[in-house]
Amino acid sequence: MYPKKQNPEQQPTKPKQKQLTVSVLGRHMKIACPAGQEEKLQNAMLELEERVGKTRYQPGVHGAEDVLLMIALNLCNEILELKKNAE
């Protein structure tokens, strides 16, 4: 009726996670990051900080939500362009 309990030696091992704290627009968050991927996350944060700096003072952009929404829309547009060019 119940699934058999697996032997601990047979259970798949999960990759180790590290907790990293990131800060965006004054908000601090803890993010789980697979061990060995810290540099990629750091590079992503640097890219985000650069985009925040370029976006936050544009006319019509007010507050953190607007900044992040504009960045998200621009990223989606870039992804769509990359997909289109890859075809």
Q: Quick: pLDDT tens for 30-58.
A: 999 999 999 999 999 999 999 999 999 99
Backbone phi, then psi, for 30, in 5-degree steps?
-95, 130
Neighbouring-strand partners of residue 24 = 27
Domain boundaries, the chain: 17-86
3-class DSSP assignment, residue 32: strand
Q: Which residue has the higher pLDDT, 30 or 5?
A: 30
Q: What is the mean pLDDT of the chain?
A: 88
What amino acid occupies position 22? Answer: V
pTM of the model: 0.72
Backbone phi, then psi, for 20, in 5-degree steps?
-115, 145
